[in-house]
Amino acid sequence: MFSKDIGIDLGTANVLIHVKGKGIVLNEPSVVALDRKTNQVIAVGEAARKMIGRTPEHIVAVRPLKDGVIADFDVTEIMLKYFLNRLKVKGFMTKPRILICCPTNVTSVEQKAIREAAEKSGGKKVYLEEEPKVAAIGAGMNIYQPSGNMVIDIGGGTTDVAVLSMGDIVTSESIKVAGDVFDNDILQYIKREYKLLIGERTSENIKLQIGSVLAGNRKEEMEVRGRDMVTGLPRVITIHSSEIEGALKDSIAMIVAAARNVLEKTPPELSADIIDRGIILTGGGAMLHGMEKLLAEELKVPVTVSETPMDCVALGTGIMLDNMGRLSKRR
């Protein structure tokens, strides 16, 4: 049996794996549950995510990636090994080639950590590519022509903004403001305004169910359960979409500012192309209610959400694996 080329979107929130010839075969949360007493792995992926905030002291659910890069090398290696073994991508005598994505501002030390984790997990040859470039390819953009394409990839740990032409990034910016920061903004807002403590998962559910970034664009409400900070007892409150819009305002402004900075640094000929083609939104954050309308209003350029925003990076790795000659191994 021969090994297969695989592409990995090693995200702060989710890991997606694309196997050449099969498509996306895995989409699991980037979480590992460990027993501190025995140092044993209890669960990986979705099973581990369900344990966040719901375990005894000696069991801890760890998210080994932070801000798009590896925060805990050993746990990342455990997680990747588990997923690759589950998929049985190694051959009898061979190891797969792995294409893995990273943010645009990743340091050489962080690049080395990502490459080593992939190699130790069973990769023969590891290629690194910049996330917005791969996301643009996965979203259906033809970045190999001499024309401007702009992508805003809002993930779990980072938001990557890039203008691409002739198969490479012309100008880009990466900021550590994305899905995780949105969740924390909501958590802190409820703590401050209602004196109610909620967990990460509750905060994420609020964002998904009633979250909005555009004033007056969504009028929904939701019951939220948590622990009263004054009495210490469980309490239920009702929260509205307009409150979430207010809670996220500062973080969204930072994403808009990053996109503006990239547009300001873009050569005028490419800027003209972007007005014609518009901006493509990818990543989980692209699905936040009103995001494309807000960015279109602020940037004065048409903005559209990719058909499958969560899968763009993984799909892009698949396309790049089919064109291995175009891959440049980043040092």
**Which residues are part of a known binding site for ATP?**
12-14, 156-158, 204-207
Which is it for strands 149-154 and 279-282: parallel, antiparallel or unpaired? parallel
Are the beta carbons of 49 and 29 closer than 8 angstroms?
yes
Residue numbering of the annotated binding site: 12-14, 156-158, 204-207
Length of the chain: 331
d(CA 130, CA 171): 12
* Rounded (10°) CA dihedral 238, 46, 33, 111: -110
Q: Cβ atoms within 10 A of the Cβ of 228, count?
A: 14
Q: What is the DSSP letter of 281?
A: E
Whole-angstrom distance, CA of residue 325 vs CA of residue 331: 17
In the beta sheet, which residues pair with residue 15?
10, 28
Angle at the Cα of 69 from the Cα atoms of 313 and 122, rounded to 5 degrees: 75
| CA atoms of 307 and 141, how far apart (whole Å) | 12
Residue type, 175: I
Nearest to 79 by CA among 50, 47, 54: 47
Q: Which amino acid is at 169?
A: I
